Amino acid sequence: MTAICLIRHGETDWNLQRRLQGSTDIPLNSTGLNQADKTGKHLKDTEWDVIVASPLIRAKKTAEIINEYLQLPLIEMEEFKERDFGDAEGISLEERTEKYPSKNYPNQETIEDFTERLMTGLKKVQKEFPNKKVLVVAHGGAIHTILTTISNGEVNLDNTPLVNACISNIQFAEEKWNVSNYNLSEHLL
């Protein structure tokens, strides 16, 4: 069984301002750095084999801070980057709602392409690390899409956003992915 712990990156100023980040490379703020540190402390006495991170700096830095406690191989995978939201990136929620009420943003990556990229990433992790325990540090939209896809819509977080630095656990067993839990954030208190 391949086990994956999905970790959302720590907070950025754009998270705080409710600006859509997508593929824009925004660093962690001081709260985000602290969240990453708390997540690392929470995981330090657990057994993992490798950390996989999105190459965007907010996820990569979160992974690096966590890895200060774990000392694991850390690799980047493009497949776990956040969705490219095109012309909506950098725009606040209020501006987006006014300008794009249908949430159909010009030049954005299609949900189909985004989902396919993420599922390709999961297959790659499963193939490269069979029967291993893998930490994947990624993004809210990416983790939401993974959880919704592998649960066939049973896990739907449209009305419950994933907390920065939250933990969600999935496993590949009996030829399918299963969600064990999601949006865990007690370690941040």
pLDDT tens digits along 173-187:
989 999 999 999 999
Residue 89 is predicted with a pLDDT of 98
Q: Which of 64, 68, 76, 82 is catalytic?
A: 82
Q: Which of 9, 79, 109, 144 is catalytic?
A: 9
- Domain of 110: which CATH number? 3.40.50.1240
What is the pLDDT averaged over residues 98-114?
96
Task: Report d(CA 187, CA 185) in Å as an integer.
Answer: 5
DSSP-derived pairing of the beta strands 133-138 and 2-8: parallel
Task: Report d(CA 158, CA 138) in Å as an integer.
Answer: 18
Query: CB atoms < 10 A from the CB of 155, how many?
Result: 19
DSSP-derived pairing of the beta strands 167-173 and 2-8: antiparallel
Q: pLDDT grade, residue 156 (50/70/90)?
A: confident
The two structure tokens encoding residue 79? 């497949």
Q: What is the pTM of this model?
A: 0.96
Domain that holds residue 87: 2-188
125-134 burial by CB neighbour count: b if 16+ within 10 A, else e?
bbeebeeebb
- The number of distinct structural domains making up the chain is 1
* Residues 63 and 8 sit within 8 Å (Cβ to Cβ): no
Residue 82 annotated in active site? yes
115-146 pLDDT tens trace: 999 999 999 999 999 999 999 999 999 999 99
- Determine the number of helices (DSSP H) and then strands (DSSP E) in the chain: 6, 6
Residue 9 annotated in active site? yes
Task: Report d(CA 38, CA 52) in Å as an integer.
Answer: 18
* Residues 36 and 8 sit within 8 Å (Cβ to Cβ): no
Annotated binding site for substrate: 8-15, 58
Identify which of 60, 88, 82, 92 has the alpha carbon closest to the alpha carbon of residue 144: 82
Residue 157 is predicted with a pLDDT of 76
* Residues 26 and 189 sit within 8 Å (Cβ to Cβ): no
Q: pLDDT grade, residue 95 (50/70/90)?
A: very high
